[in-house]
Amino acid sequence: MTMTIAFMLYPGLTALDLVGPLQTLTGLAQLDPRFRTVVLAEDRATVSSDTPLLLAAGHTFDEIPEPDVLIVPGGIEGTLAALTDERLIGRIRHAARTAQVVGSVCTGSLLLGAAGLLEGRRATTHWAMRHLLERFGAVPVAERWVEDGPILTAAGVAAGIDMALYLTARLAGEETARKVQLWIEYDPQPPAGGIDWDAVDIPSYRPITDALLTSALAGHPRMLEHLTG
C-alpha cells in the first residue's frame, strides 16, 4: 500500500515552509514507491505566498481528506489570518483523526493549536511566535523539531527541512534519509556561521509580533484578544 504524505496549501504561507520539506519528502517518494507526496487545497486555483511566487495544489481536500501524513506550513500574516478560517482548521482537525503523523513548519503549529491538537503537548514554532503556543495549551520548546505522540512540529522556515529528514528516517530508515539528504545536497554552511541564540533578545521582538497579530486579526477581535490579552 502507498502512504500518502500531504502538504496543506493556503493563501499567504511562507514558500520555503512548504517547498523545503516537500522537496525532501518527494525525494523519499522517488527512492521508495511505498510513498507519495501531494499538495492539498480547497481547489486548484493559484494562491499567493509571502514571496512573488504563486502556488497551486495538485489535489483538493475533498479528493484526499484523510492522508496518512499531513504537513501544515506556516507564514506570517497569511497564517495568522488563517487561525480564524474555520473551514481550513476543520480540514486539519478531520485529517488528524486518522493520520499517523500531523506535522507543521514554523507558525503552522499555531494552526494545529487552533484545531485543538496541541493541548498538553510539547511543540515548537518560529522563535518570535513561540510564546503564542501557550495560548493553545501547548508546552513551548526551543528545539529544531519536536515530536510528541503523532504531532511533529518544526521551528522556523528552514527547520522544516530538518524535520522532513527526521520524518524520512522514521518512515524509511536512516540510510534512506541520508540518501535524500545527499540528493538534495542539504549541507548547511552559512557564510556568517550559525545563529548565536544566547545573543538573541527574543522579548525585544514582541512589539513586531504584536503588530503582525493586530494587522492580521483586525477583523477578529476575539482571536486577537485570545492571543494577546
Catalytic residues: 106
Give dist(CA 125, CA 186) in Å, integer. 21
Whether 96 contacts 30, CB under 8 Å: no
What CA–CA distances, in Å, run from 121 to 74, 100, 163, 177? 19, 16, 17, 26
Q: Which three cell numbers stand for residue 56?
A: 497551486
Whether 150 contacts 173, CB under 8 Å: no
Give dist(CA 76, CA 42) in Å, integer. 20
